[in-house]
Structure 1
Amino acid sequence: MTWRGPTYRTVDGQRIDGAWCHVWQRSPWNDRYYLDDLVVFADGAVRCEKRTDLRGLAKLLASGRIAVTEPGAAKLPDERSKWASRSGEPVTPEGFLLEVVDKVEELNGRPTTGQRCWDAIGRFQQDPSEPNRVLLREAYLAVPPHLRIYVLGDMDRQDRPLRILLTAVGAAVDGGGPVVTSEMHADVLDYFNRGDEGVAREEEHRAVRHADDPVTAGQAAFISPETFYPRGWPDVPGLFVLRNEFPAPVVFAGENYPSVLHGYWALSAADAADHDRIRDAPSGREAHDRGGRAERRADWPRMRLAVMGGLLEAKFTQHPDLAEVLLSTGDSVISYTGLSDSPFWRDVPDSRGRNWVGRLLELTRSGLVARQVLPS
């Protein structure tokens, strides 16, 4: 199964994360199967047509109401040798249920069966005793059968090193594979040791390449919502000063504009008379409306980001009190929301939202910090 996400549901104001995959569901009217989404949540809730839990899912799988392989599809022919096969075990209802349980563990940040198998491998490397081999066998067999070939993340050898290690010396792997020798066991341990050394080298290289990563988590994202004060802005508008419509006069490109919004739309106009009419609008909203109706400069698509960036820099360098408000957002991602601006400028919860104003505010904030800490 291919799991997709993220998804979630809200319970009493709390977000419950989830993931989903496709299954085949039998129609109650004609017994035909159709493809449907099965959603699993961190609290063990399952949704497929109706809401249930892991026990209910087990019953649906056992009854055939939900199928994990396409009903009626031709079965693959039996292979002569499991050892030579490149295919994993077939997906069964029982194996899929184990995979769902694993997904719940993953959504809760707990170790999955695959991770517990790797823990058992590490214990066996440190102490290759028979009790640890037994624990390793149990951990390997706990992995859903159809996922065992992926547990090592090595699609050349698949899970063969584990199958060798779990076979007694003198016995054939999988009953029909090679007869295991002590040298083969030693070679498998060497394989895992080489893998550990490679991981250690990569972690060392990553530590060097990522040496400037922050050591603590950043601040939570800051959402800048659109607002409207019909009786005028309050004496202490707070974080709303970050909005482009906030009446902070800026001098940019030799002109005075009552706000960033006035400057942006005035400079977008192809006609000088439109420029002045937009600049002189009584409010940022009116400047926006006038600008939206005016003819745009032919080169505006190429210029608009630079103009917006320049206007924001002018606003916060020319108004130190506003700069302090912007700096107070720390290293937060700034999500610039609302309805008036196009998705190019604001944060929209789909692929259309580019959040360019939020991104330019973050760059402006970085420039303000640089002016504070770097020598001139």
Structure 2
Amino acid sequence: MIGRRITYRIADGVRIPGTWRHAFIRNGGYFLTDLFIYADGLIDCWGLVTIEEFEEKLRTGWVATTLPDGAGASAHNLAGWKFSEPQSWLTPQLLIAEVRDTIDQLNKRPDSTGRALAAVDVFLADRSEENRAAAEAAFLAVPASQRRYALGDMDSKDWPLRVLVAGPGRRTYLPGDPPVSQEDHDRALAYFEERAHWRREYDTRVPADGPETPHAPAIQLYQSYPNKPVADPGHRGLRNDYPAPITIGEVLHPSVAHAYWALSVARTEVSSAITAADTAAAARELAAAAPRREGWEHIRTAVMTGLLRAKYDEHPELAEILLATDDATLIYDDMESAFWGDNAGRGRNWTGRLLELVRSELHLRRNGIPGL
């Protein structure tokens, strides 16, 4: 299970999501480390390998599931010890099955549990012996470590599943279970009928506060270097360096970027020179060479919010472009700043976030609550 263990790596500028789990690497001694698993199917076990290569690492014991009594082990820069009566819960077959499930989960594909539950649904719709056998095979393909929680029911565990797929008079996969009685099988059927009812209700549930995720695809606001306004700027018009003059106080600035850098510096004469700069890039260079205003890092997001509000207030045609992005996530490229830009997943994307805030305020103004 991925849970909250979310990470990523960058490959050719693309962010590859991943997760990690603990594992032992055998390289002379045994080393407790993290096994990183990525959505593209690569696994980092002290080197990136394919899933097939990872199976070979398991076969040779490089990734260890057997821990010999008395063997030395360590966790880098943390501790060293020797095993005493070790017990391992993993086998190579179980670990590879769990890793394959994790890759499916990272790609939002049905994992072995999802495939088993889909096979059960087929059996419930047509209770033939063929469909029962297929559901049982799919359930037994779920790693043993995951079967008990396949239903996500901490009370019943997998009891309804193992009884249902076994069928009356047959035995479940657990050696201690008695043969399935007709009464138990009927109880399992009733469990799944009730579960289907609750699933239908959940699937048709409308969140009280509206959609939880955007329905519009994300929009990348790529780096650009516009020199003059154009009749139809498209998403380029949402860039801070797009030439859309705004008035702050009594000063007219050629763009949001000009205004931001002019307000960032401590000296008035430098601020005036920044405002007069030919381009936003030149304005930034002037600001970079001058001292920042005291406490700038604490107020810069508030300043940018005010500048963006001014831009879209003073340029209704650009406000329409921003509103037309619907509820899309706005990903802002800014190769000069990992604070303001997303930068292939390595930045904080504050410009994109503030644009979404201003967009929401524009929607509020158009279709909002009286008094706000």
Q: TM-score, normalised by structure 1?
A: 0.71
Contact residue 150 and residue 159 of structure 1 kept, 8 A: yes
Aligned pairs, number = 352
1:61 matched to 2:55? The reply is no
Task: Please tell me the residue identity of whatever aligns with 1:345.
Answer: W
Task: Please tell me the residue identity of whatever aligns with 2:341.
Answer: R
Alignment correspondent of 2:255? 259
Contact residue 225 and residue 337 of structure 1 kept, 8 A: yes
Task: Please tell me the residue identity of whatever aligns with 1:159.
Answer: D
SS of structure 2 residue aligned to 1:23: strand
Q: Out of 340, 361, 372, which is 1:345 matched to? A: 340
Alignment correspondent of 2:309? 313
Q: 1:74 to 1:193 in 2, by over 3 A?
A: farther
Q: 1:117 to 1:325 in 2, by over 3 A?
A: closer
Query: How do 1:117-196 and structure 2 match up within 5 A?
Result: 117-165=116-164, 166=166, 168-169=168-169, 174-177=174-177, 180-196=180-196
Task: Please tell me the residue identity of whatever aligns with 1:96.
Answer: L
Contact residue 263 and residue 279 of structure 1 kept, 8 A: yes
**Per-residue Cα deviation, 1:194-219 (whole angstroms, up to 9, x for no partner):** 21212222223x236476689x9524
Q: Out of 218, 221, 224, which is 1:223 matched to? A: 221
Query: How do 1:12-51 and structure 2 match up within 5 A?
Result: 20-27=20-27, 30-39=28-37, 42=40, 46-50=43-47
Deviates more, 1:46-55 or 1:195-204: 46-55
SS of structure 2 residue aligned to 1:101: helix
**Per-residue Cα deviation, 1:155-177 (whole angstroms, up to 9, x for no partner):** 22222223333264486984434
Q: 1:364 to 1:188 in 2, by over 3 A?
A: same
1:200 matched to 2:200? The reply is yes
Q: 1:310 to 1:40 in 2, by over 3 A?
A: closer
The 1-side partners of 2:43 and 2:279 are apart by 51
Contact residue 26 and residue 65 of structure 1 kept, 8 A: yes
The 1-side partners of 2:308 and 2:97 are apart by 54
| Offset at residue 345 of structure 1 (A) | 3.0
The 2-side partners of 1:211 and 1:186 are apart by 39
| Offset at residue 66 of structure 1 (A) | 1.6
Deviates more, 1:149-158 or 1:109-118: 109-118
| Offset at residue 102 of structure 1 (A) | 3.3
The 2-side partners of 1:171 and 1:336 are apart by 58
| Offset at residue 93 of structure 1 (A) | 0.9
SS of structure 2 residue aligned to 1:135: helix
Task: Please tell me the residue identity of whatever aligns with 1:223.
Answer: L
| Offset at residue 100 of structure 1 (A) | 3.0
Task: Give the unaligned 5+ runs of structure 1.
Answer: 78-88
Q: 1:182 to 1:294 in 2, by over 3 A?
A: same
1:249 matched to 2:249? The reply is no
The 1-side partners of 2:269 and 2:172 are apart by 89
Which structure has the greater CA radius of gyration? Answer: 1
Q: TM-score, normalised by structure 2?
A: 0.71
Q: 1:150 to 1:318 in 2, by over 3 A?
A: same
1:355 matched to 2:349? The reply is yes
The 1-side partners of 2:7 and 2:199 are apart by 28
Alignment correspondent of 2:293? 296
The 1-side partners of 2:137 and 2:58 are apart by 25
The 2-side partners of 1:55 and 1:284 are apart by 51
| Offset at residue 118 of structure 1 (A) | 0.8
SS of structure 2 residue aligned to 1:194: helix
Contact residue 26 and residue 66 of structure 1 kept, 8 A: yes
Contact residue 25 and residue 32 of structure 2 kept, 8 A: yes
Contact residue 248 and residue 258 of structure 1 kept, 8 A: yes
Task: Give the unaligned 5+ runs of structure 2.
Answer: 70-82
What is the percent sequence identity of the aligned residues?
34
The 2-side partners of 1:9 and 1:324 are apart by 34
Q: 1:132 to 1:279 in 2, by over 3 A?
A: closer
The 2-side partners of 1:365 and 1:349 are apart by 23
